[in-house]
Structure 1
Amino acid sequence: MDNKGGIIVTELNELLYDKKLECPVCNEEFATKKVRISRLKLIKRDEDLLSYYEGENPLIYNVFLCPNCGYAATESRFDSVSARDKKILLEEVASKWSKRSYGGERSIDDAIVVYKLAFYIGQVLDYDKVELGTLAHSIAWLYRIKGDQEEIRFLSITKDLYEYSYYNESLVNAKGAKRDEIKLAYLLGEINRRLGNKEEAFKWFNGVISNPDIKSSPMLEKMVREQWRLTRNE
């Protein structure tokens, strides 16, 4: 595997394109690389849903970072900046930022830096814990692709954030979309399994299997039963 998270190296100029953006914090225009999803071929997917592709992995480019002020967020979140958020970001991030760009081709290490900044910004802006957990999970995946044991630390952070969200946050997010409770419970089972927390993994897997709504997700049901058996045999 190459250090980009792909299996076979493909010409980057065939896979990447420039996306032009205007920063909602400082109003500067900049460009950042994106992956042409139509050109990708899925190779495999880990049980906690990390996907591997032939060529570049779009995970590496899913966070946009303004080179002028340092604002970083996922593509789906990038434009969601309130007047309050803007004030906080100017004080807590932009005032301390040394201008630099991550808008070109990124290494895994570049992606980790960008995601960690997005995670920090999520903490500063008090994102929902499930959203912070998703960022932490992505960082763990990047370390996995790199083959770095820091993956374990970020999986542990992910577990704590997902668990808090499961028990304490609304199933409907700020945009009115319903979160997938079963998928979150499955991920908590799989992450606990990867961390060696066998009894916790069983608890979450059993909860998913006994949930009648699992019948509407046959692929997830198959995955959770397979991981339940794997955990039993470990």
Structure 2
Amino acid sequence: MNLLSGMEKFGFSMDGELDILADDKPKKDAAQKTAAAPVVKTEKDFIIDKKVRCPVCDKDFPIKAVLATKLKRLEPDFDLRPNYEHVDKCKYDFMSCPNCGYSALDTTFAKIDTARVKLIRAEFCPSFKPQKETALPETYSYEYSIEKFKLALICTMKKRAKMSEKAYVCLKIAWLRRAQLKELEGNKDADPKIVDMIQKEYEGFYSQAYEGFMKAVSSETPPYCGMASEAVEYMLANMSVHYKKYDAAMKLIARLIQSPSTSRKLKDKCLELKEDIVAKQGAK
């Protein structure tokens, strides 16, 4: 018997037996389905909004930042490019003021002395043309980030930054271009002209980074733009292999293996790289 028959005229069609305890009973099936459903995370889940004050024009501006503590670190590339699950953190490793244009690596943005502020104001700001940006994108695209890193590179040159800082900015751009190339692998719809442009920029900035860091290692006191000397030398050894400069790579590896400050783990990596170089030289 339908105890709520007659309620149809009020718009309620109550089929089946009445059970006022039904809502209090645990819904096992629903709970199990909810628990079993996988949580799919995207880049947006790791991005937050922040405000930063520009040391050049003294104005606040918004940025997108990565919640690094929540990221799962993956195996780095051969040249120590960091990789993370769900997010390419390299895209967010800059700060760029939309008002005056001053841009830099996020680690060096606020570390600018009075003399260099004057250089930026005198040699960079007068030429900078602010762009009309109504709001920041939800996540940074590769093109968006590379554009800002290029501004940062111009700023590092205008403020007479150390060679290691200029080289590091070039390396970041090269890493981003390489990530783009990986994304385009196997994409039949990719424009060959765009792929060619990305490839040339990758090679160009990577070469600048290599030459810049090689000079920095011989002329600056570590750390190099916040990077430990051992990390930079191991990175350069791998970059030397990339350019088939095996003698240069071997010298860097030998120095790392002989140094008492090099960790056991890094020495083991150097020995592996040494074996790889010997194999490549033997294959000639």
Return 5+ residue gaps in structure 2 as ranges. Answer: 1-39, 182-197
Which secondary structure does the structure 1 equivalent of 2:95 belong to?
strand
Distance 1:208 1:13 in 2: 40
Distance 1:185 1:53 in 2: 23
Aligned to 2:215: 164
Partner of residue 122 from structure 1, selected from 111, 132, 156 = 156
Change in CA separation of 1:228 and 1:151 when aligned onto 2, cut-off 3 Å: farther
Distance 2:178 2:100 in 1: 29
Contact 1:10-1:54 within 8 A present in 2 as well:
no
- 1:196 shift after superposition: 2.0
- 1:231 shift after superposition: 1.6
- 1:173 shift after superposition: 7.1
Percent identity between matched residues is: 24
Aligned to 2:235: 187
- 1:89 shift after superposition: 1.4
- 1:26 shift after superposition: 1.1
Change in CA separation of 1:38 and 1:70 when aligned onto 2, cut-off 3 Å: same
Distance 2:164 2:125 in 1: 25
Distance 2:73 2:261 in 1: 28
Partner of residue 270 from structure 2, selected from 218, 224, 229 = 224
Matched, 1:198 2:246: yes
Change in CA separation of 1:84 and 1:213 when aligned onto 2, cut-off 3 Å: closer
Distance 2:109 2:128 in 1: 18
User: Rg: which structure is higher?
Assistant: 2
Distance 2:113 2:231 in 1: 30
- Flag the structure with more relative contact order, 1 or 2, with Cα contacts below 8 A and sequence separation at least 6: 1
Encode CA deviations 1:129-153: one digit per residue, 9 max, x unaligned: 1222222211111111111423222
Distance 2:50 2:136 in 1: 9
Matched, 1:151 2:197: no
Distance 2:256 2:211 in 1: 18
TM-score (norm 2): 0.71
Aligned to 2:144: 110
Change in CA separation of 1:42 and 1:90 when aligned onto 2, cut-off 3 Å: same
Contact 1:17-1:35 within 8 A present in 2 as well:
yes
Between Structure 1 and Structure 2, how many residues are aligned? 221
Return 5+ residue gaps in structure 1 as ranges. Answer: 1-8
Counterpart code for 1:187: M
- 1:70 shift after superposition: 0.6
Distance 1:199 1:81 in 2: 38
Matched, 1:54 2:85: yes
Counterpart code for 1:93: F
Which secondary structure does the structure 2 equivalent of 1:212 belong to?
coil
Counterpart code for 2:112: V
Distance 1:81 1:134 in 2: 16
- 1:117 shift after superposition: 1.4
Contact 1:137-1:155 within 8 A present in 2 as well:
yes
Counterpart code for 1:202: M
Distance 2:136 2:243 in 1: 34
Encode CA deviations 1:49-79: one digit per residue, 9 max, x unaligned: 1122221122111100001111101222111
Encode CA deviations 1:148-179: one digit per residue, 9 max, x unaligned: 423222222112111111111123679xx8x6
Distance 2:145 2:268 in 1: 32
- 1:227 shift after superposition: 1.4
Contact 2:124-2:158 within 8 A present in 1 as well:
no
Change in CA separation of 1:194 and 1:36 when aligned onto 2, cut-off 3 Å: same
After the TM superposition, list the runs of 4 or more consecutive aligned residues in structure 1 that deviate by more than 4 angstroms. none
Which secondary structure does the structure 2 equivalent of 1:213 belong to?
coil
- 1:103 shift after superposition: 4.3
